[in-house]
Chain A
Amino acid sequence: MSDYDEAGPAALGDLLGGTAAREQGAFAKLYEASSAKLFGVILRILRDRELATEVLQEVYLRIWQHAGDYRPDLGAPMTWMIAIARNRALDRRRHRRPELPLDLLEELEDPGANPADSVGGGLPLRALRRCLDELDERQRQSVLMAFAEGYTHAELADRLGCPLGTAKSLIRRGLLRLKECLER
């Protein structure tokens, strides 16, 4: 882990700014500070190291090309980079991934399991965690599985043993409640 993890959004913002100005040193430091997080996110969705490595490369080339598009009103720098990484990973996702062992799910359900990680690049997790707590069990599970593991509606339905339509509305209700809670 590099020093930049503790430095948080301001330092990452500076590095993104440097990257936008075509400073290779800033870009290298940005990579060092953020690549383990992004690789973790991508790998979790794709479950294939080789493919995840390829996607990681695409993601950083995109960050290099589009760093100038980042604006603070798009969220923390890490949130912006994670959105790019997740988008790429989800676009490249293949179907029928191996079934998840249950303990992984439990680990996911406790966002406080790794406190050091919640600082990772200054991700503002606190409000989200409070709102996740307001969801019912199945909604929370589904949202977390979808976000972290890249489950589609059909895969969630399979996993939860319910019809597709049920899984869809479960997710939509969960998302609505999250939004309402976050806006309070």
Chain B
Amino acid sequence: MTDELDETEALAAECVLGTLEPTARAAVRQRLRTDPELARLVELWEQRLGPLAAIVPPVEPPPAAWLGIVQALAAETRSAAPVRRVRVRHHGPLYSVTFWRRCTFGAGALAAILALYLAGTELRRPPPATARYVAVLDRSAATPALIVTVDPAAGRATIRPLAVKAAPDRALELWLIEGQGRQPRSLGLLDAEKETTLELPASINEAVRPSAAFAVSLEPRGGSPTGQPSGPVICQGPVLALGK
């Protein structure tokens, strides 16, 4: 039996326990890269102390956490695919070829993983009689901005904002894009702060299917004056079928 831990081992143990002050901790974490003995000691202490986590009660994370992970993975898949930026005439971002590729790449992965997640949670409730559609709209890689869920039986879209902002004098307008060469169609204006429910005209309701996508543009208050997106697209995402 010794009186004290030797200095290296004490640092390893304290690093795992978490008591080191930020600077000391950063120094140990840095040293780990080049000091295999320290790394081995840290691994041993992680095994010794790890089981203590059993005393910390589990807490269900918010659903948005998983959506963010899925989005980041889809982005990883997309960026792994060659994307050539080709702008088709002067029609703005909704017509850019890149946009459509972005919608296509990763959609499969996203659908699979999202469906699994929903199967594990939401669908434990009695399944709705008809198919539903969902789209996770993102700005860039890892942050989902909002989620659009469409219940075609009810002819209704529900939009849940997760991380989206609009200046006070601007409006958020939701568009359905059916495919290249088709004009985007407005579903209506969104509230950045709370869930919005939009009644869908039959022609739009029928057009929501997995080959389509949703996008949100920033418009003057009251919506686009032209009936077509006039401001920048702040987020977008492909329509995914949820099955039964």
Contact = CB atoms under 8 A, between A and B. Distances in A.
B19 A171 contact: yes
B107 to A, nearest CB: 13
Contacts of B14: 153, 171-172, 175
Given A25-B112, A57-B69, A152-B21, A123 B54 contact: yes
Interface string A118-152: 10100111001000000000000001101110111
- Interface size class on chain A is 35 or more
Nearest to B72: A61
Contacts of B29: 87, 91
B73 A64 contact: yes
Contacts of B52: 111, 125, 128, 144, 147-148
A97 interface: no
Contacts of A156: 19
A104 to B, nearest CB: 10
Interface string B42-61: 01001111111111111111
B2 interface: yes
Contact of A32 (B43, B53, B120, B142): B120
A45 B60 CA distance: 15
A170 B55 CA distance: 21
A39 B29 CA distance: 22
B210 interface: no
Contacts of B20: 152-153
A28 B117 contact: yes
A66 interface: no
Contacts of B2: 176
B58 A75 contact: no
B149 to A, nearest CB: 19
A162 interface: no
- Interface size class on chain B is 35 or more
A10 interface: no
Interface in A14-54: 24-25, 27-29, 31-32, 35-37, 39-41, 43-45, 49, 52-53
B48 A128 contact: yes
A176 B4 contact: yes
A142 B37 CA distance: 26
B55 A144 contact: yes
Contact of B116 (A2, A25, A40, A168): A25
Contacts of A75: 46-47, 50
Interface string B106-133: 0001001100110010000000000000
B73 A79 contact: no
Interface in B24-43: 25, 29, 43
A79 B51 contact: yes
Contacts of B54: 111, 117-118, 120, 123, 125
Contact of A151 (B18, B57, B120): B18
A108 B50 contact: no
A148 B16 CA distance: 11
Interface of B: 1-2, 4-5, 10, 13-14, 16-22, 25, 29, 43, 46-62, 64-66, 68-69, 72-73, 109, 112-113, 116-117, 120, 142
Given A57-B142, A75-B46, A172-B10, 11 more contacts: A24-B113, A31-B117, A32-B117, A32-B120, A35-B66, A56-B61, A61-B73, A146-B18, A147-B17, A152-B19, A153-B14
The 5 A-B pairs at the shortest CB distance, nearest first, are namely A79-B50, A36-B58, A75-B47, A39-B61, A28-B116
